[in-house]
Amino acid sequence: MAKLNFGGTEENVVTREEFPLSKAQEVLKDEVVAVIGYGVQGPGQALNQKDNGINVIVGQRKGTKTWDKAISDGFVPGETLFEIEEALEKGTVICYLLSDAAQIALWPTVKKHLTPGKALYFSHGFGITFKDQTGIVPPADVDVFLVAPKGSGTSLRRMFLQGRGLNSSYAIFQDATGKAKDRVIALGIAVGSGYLFETDFKKEVYSDLTGERGTLMGCIQGVFAAQYDVLRKNGHSPSEAFNETVEELTQSLMPLVAENGMDWMYANCSTTAQRGALDWWKKFRDATKPVFEELYKSVATGVESQKSIDSNSKDDYREKLDAELKELRESEMWQAGKTVRSLRPENQVVEA
């Protein structure tokens, strides 16, 4: 395990150099990794493990769209694709990748198959951290750990196919066998992580829920909408408002930040842009910090988790979700974005 300096703080990091795929394969050679759930994270993690030579099976309900997707992805019914209970019985490592609400519903079934020595694997600290709300309390004689890729399952798979890796966090909640550390790191490498950094279940879910509601999704949509609306109200066209709000950020500036950092991106913009950004960033920080403090408190006190459980467990959840997503999709900003994306050179059909 390497110790790296992150802005003045030393942290433990696991890299592929010190824990190569060959070592992960050796650690997992006698394991049967059962991926339960084939929705958001399931496909990417299962396929990456499969391609990395891990004995992975998928547990899913027969006759569902996700069952059919697993077949189209190369999993074979009766060989590497099974009904959930059969997969739970066969698996020595249970990758519990259902949604948080679905994890709560299926937990009694999962728990009865957690025989001594097995491992329960999460990609989110939700179920364990908020156990008073979820009821997920594992038996004492199984390993419990998580690997949380810092991105969607789609990104995890895409980067794997490109020969890259998505960074992931890992945490051990319970080491019943004495092998939990080797098991979790091996699985982290096997699912396609570029590197792994240490955390614990509570920190993972607190940071994750804050991030999703904050800069990763909730905040950025709110900021996009605010700037777009101001530009439109001041006479700018939809295409101009969208390009200055979203397109330039996502297509030009964020890739530069990802490559070399915000300071490098600032240094490689016009002097006018530099001056404006340096003058205004602290004002935006000061304006939004109270909102982030309110958000973190809501996460830490269990308010956000309870909202999620209550909402996502309702029978009409999917219909209400579709209606909210439709509102976003049909807004002028994202309709303008649809046209802008179609005009990108890579999306143009060029006549021979």
Task: Tell me the per-residue pLDDT of 176-216, one tens digit each, with 9 for 90 and over.
Answer: 999 999 999 999 999 999 999 999 999 999 999 999 999 99
Is 270 a known ligand-binding residue? yes
Q: What is the mean pLDDT of the chain?
A: 94
Q: Is the pTM of this model over 0.85?
A: yes
pLDDT at 352 over 70: no
Is 244 a known ligand-binding residue? yes
**322-351 mean pLDDT:** 89
Of 124, 157, 183, 232, the catalytic one is 124
Sorted by where each begins, the domain ranges of the chain are 2-199, 214-347
CB-side neighbour CA atoms (13 Å) of 28: 31
Residues 6 or more apart whose CB falls under 8 angstroms from that of 52 comprise 21, 24, 25, 189, 190, 192
Q: Is residue 339 within 8 Å of residue 239, measured between CB atoms?
A: yes
**313-326 mean pLDDT:** 90
E strand or H helix that includes residue 120: strand 119-122
Is 208 a known ligand-binding residue? yes
Is 26 a known ligand-binding residue? no
If one looks up domain 2-199 in CATH, what number appears? 3.40.50.720
User: Is 236 assigned a catalytic role?
Assistant: no
Residue 312, φ and ψ in degrees, nearest 5: -75, -10
CATH number of the domain at 214-347, out of 3.30.470.20, 1.10.1040.10, 3.90.1200.10, 1.20.1440.230?
A: 1.10.1040.10
**44-50 mean pLDDT:** 97
Q: Which residue has the tokens 């196919």?
A: 161
pLDDT-derived band at 217, boundaries 50, 70, 90: very high
